[in-house]
Amino acid sequence: MIETVINEIDVKSVLTKSNLPVCEYSVNPYAGCTHACKYCYASFMKRFTGHTEDWGTFLDIKYWKEIKNPGKYKGKELFIGSVTDPYNPQEETYGRTRALLEQLKGSGAKLSIATKSDLILRDLDLIKSFPNARVSWSINTLDESFREDMDKAVSIERRLAAMKAFYLAGVRTTCFISPIFPGITDIKAIIRRAMSQCNLIWLENLNLRGGYKTVIMDYIKEKYPQLFPLYHEIYDCKDRSYWITLDKECKSFAVEIGLDYVTNDDSRHKDFNAPPVIVNYFYHEQIRKNNRSGEPNGTRRDSENHAGIAGS
C-alpha cells in the first residue's frame, strides 16, 4: 500500500478570487486529494504545486492567517472545494475546513460546498448557520463495486445519508451525477433515489483528457469490454451522438416524473420544498471553448471544479 505524503504548508490566503459568474471566491483548504478518483479532473493541479507523486497519494494541509474582517464576504459566493475535496479523510485530524468555517461564521457569506464525504455531517450545525448554504455530493453510480473501482471516498449509501440529513436540516442539497460513464451510470435510478432529498440534480458527462484517459480506457477494456467500442467512438472518434441521445432521454424522463429540466442554467431558485430541478451540463465544455472570454450567466461549471466536477 502506498503511503500518503502529508505536508503542512503556510499560505498567504485560502480564498482565491474567481472569475466565474456565480462564484466570487474559490476556497481550497487542501491541495491534493486522497479520494484519488481515477477520473479526477483536478489532477492537472499537480503541475502548479510541484508534486511528482501520483495523484491521490499526497496532501498539502494549508495554514493561513486568521481571516481578518470576515464581514467583507457578506453576500459573496464562496465555493469550497473547487479543486479538491474539503472533507477528505485527513480533515478529521487537521480540521482546516472546519477552521475556515469557524473563521467565516457570522460573515453572511454564501457557501457552496462540494464533497464526496459524509464527514461534513460533523459541521452541519455550523454550515446551517450560513445564509443560503448549499452542499453537493457526487454520485455517479449506485453500484458500490464500480464506485470502489473508481474512488477511495465513502460509499454511495453514506453520501446519500449525509445528503438526506442536510436536506432534513433545511440546507439546500445537490445530487451531482458526475461523471456520467456511458453505459454504466444509471441516471434514472440515481434520480429516483435522490429526488426526495435534494433541491438540484446536476448531470455532467465524463470527459477524458490528460493522463487519465488511458487509465479509464484500459479499465473499460478490462472490466466492461462490451462497452469499449462505444468508448472508442466517444473518446477517440469524438462522436457526440451518445450525449445528444442521452440528453433527449433524460429530458423525457424528467417530464415523466414531473421535474424541470434545463441546460447549463444554475439560476433557478425554487422554494425549498419544491421538487428538484435537473440541470444538464453535457455541453459546458463546448460552451467554454466557444466562449473563452466569458461564460453565459448562470453557468456553473469550470475546469477547476473537482466535483467529478469534478469532485465531488
Q: Which residues contact ligand SF4 (rule: CB under 6 A)?
A: 33, 35-37, 40, 42, 84-85, 116, 151, 153, 306, 310-312
| Closest CB to ligand SF4: residue number | 311
Bridge partners, 9 (sequence order) = 62
Phi, psi for 203 (deg, rounded to 5): -115, 125
Q: Give min distance, CB of 311 to ligand SF4, in A.
A: 3
Q: Give min distance, CB of 11 to ligand SF4, in A.
A: 18
Phi, psi for 53 (deg, rounded to 5): -65, 165
For ligand SF4, the closer of residues 31 and 254 by Cβ is 31
Q: Give min distance, CB of 162 to ligand SF4, in A.
A: 14
For ligand SF4, the closer of residues 107 and 185 by Cβ is 185
Compute the distance between CA of residue 82 and CA of residue 259 in angstroms, rounded to an integer: 27
For ligand SF4, the closer of residues 104 and 307 by Cβ is 307
Q: Give min distance, CB of 12 to ligand SF4, in A.
A: 22
Q: Give min distance, CB of 128 to ligand SF4, in A.
A: 23
For ligand SF4, the closer of residues 25 and 137 by Cβ is 137
Q: Are 203 and 174 in contact (CB under 8 A)?
A: no
Q: Give min distance, CB of 263 to ligand SF4, in A.
A: 23
For ligand SF4, the closer of residues 58 and 73 by Cβ is 58
Could you give the C-alpha distances from 196 to 145, 193, 309, in angstroms and in order? 25, 7, 23
State how far Cα 138 lies from the chain centre: 5
Q: Give min distance, CB of 215 to ligand SF4, in A.
A: 13
C-alpha cell at 122: 460533523
For ligand SF4, the closer of residues 34 and 264 by Cβ is 34
For ligand SF4, the closer of residues 36 and 254 by Cβ is 36
